[in-house]
Chain A
Amino acid sequence: MKIISHSYINPKGAFLNGQNVLIATEENYLKSYFSELEIDYSKFYKMDLLSKAAFLGDYLLHNSYKDLLNVENELQFVFANASSSKETDIRFIESYERKKNPSPSLFVYTLPNILTGELAIKHKWFGENIFYILTKFDSDFFNDQIAMSFLRGNEYCLCGWVEMTGSPEDECFMFLVAKSEVVNENLSNKLNEILNNYRNE
């Protein structure tokens, strides 16, 4: 297994492979990054925080996978977070308790794995996808899930820890892993090292 590339997004900045590539110019940092990247994708504005963050994290990675072979069928999404879709869940509850209008456009985002659907739709990828709820980022868990994915025949895993609740601690850590005969690094340790470096930026 080999990490091809990784991205990280939080209120302080957007990073690609350890390098800071964007700094927020407004309080709404996801909108700021979207504007700075000059992306033409109007559906972004409809998304919840989870999908927006994953969309941007994926966008930063796109140069890493654009030339990979058969990625549309042999790539699996492995995502996780701790708070599921809590931020949208609360807004949806408010929509019917306070506004007396259960909002369909909020309801569709009351599942965290919608973000994998957004990415699959954008790229027209047809591989497997899964979203776990964990108490915290667990590199061993990701290591095991990726290893099992490769045993099932997948060639790549696009993974993410996307914890977005509207808090200053929000973060979206994404990494692309390829099946590789050369095992030159302990994936679990490497992931912890990369994430800790991002968190300390």
Chain B
Amino acid sequence: MSELKEQLKSQIIEQLNLEDLTPADIKNDSPLFGDEGLGLDSIDALEFIVLLDSFYGIKIEDPAAAREIFHSVDSMAAFIESKK
């Protein structure tokens, strides 16, 4: 699971063009959206949908669930694991 989380962080940095950040700058349990976390917004949620599809072959069927899934690296990793 920890390997998946580190991989996810690298993919988030690449997908969202956050070149100034390193995986170490992203905490597993920090909110990804809003001012308290990485400051991501709805545009970035689209990037996450593409990320899950292209790297893991997972499609988000229920858009309402996206907020919970994309809350943090922890929640994204747990969602990916649940789909394996």
CB contacts under 8 Å to B, within A101-131, are 101, 103-106, 108
Chain A residues bordering chain B, tally (CB within 8 A): 17
Task: Given A31-B20, A45-B20, A45-B21, answer yes or no on A104-B46 (Cβ-Cβ < 8 Å).
Answer: yes
Choice from B17, B35, B37, B38 contacting A106 with Cβ under 8 Å: B17
The prevalent SS among residues of A at the interface is helix
Task: Given A28-B20, A45-B20, A45-B21, answer yes or no on A104-B43 (Cβ-Cβ < 8 Å).
Answer: yes
Residue of A nearest to B21 (CB): A45
Contact: B40 with A46, CB < 8 Å?
yes
The prevalent SS among residues of B at the interface is loop
Cα–Cα distance between A50 and B39 once the two chains are bound (Å): 18
Choice from A30, A43, A44, A91 contacting B17 with Cβ under 8 Å: A91
Q: Say whether A42 faces chain B, with CB atoms less than 8 Å apart.
A: yes
Choice from A28, A30, A46 contacting B16 with Cβ under 8 Å: A46
CB contacts under 8 Å to B, within A141-171, are none
Contact: B54 with A45, CB < 8 Å?
no
Chain A residues with CB under 8 A of B17: 46, 91, 103, 105-106
User: How far is the CB of A61 from the nearest CB of chain B, in Å?
Assistant: 22
Chain B residues with CB under 8 A of A106: 17
Task: Given A42-B39, A108-B43, answer yes or no on A101-B54 (Cβ-Cβ < 8 Å).
Answer: yes
In order of increasing CB-CB distance, the 4 nearest A-B pairs are A42-B39, A43-B39, A31-B20, A104-B46
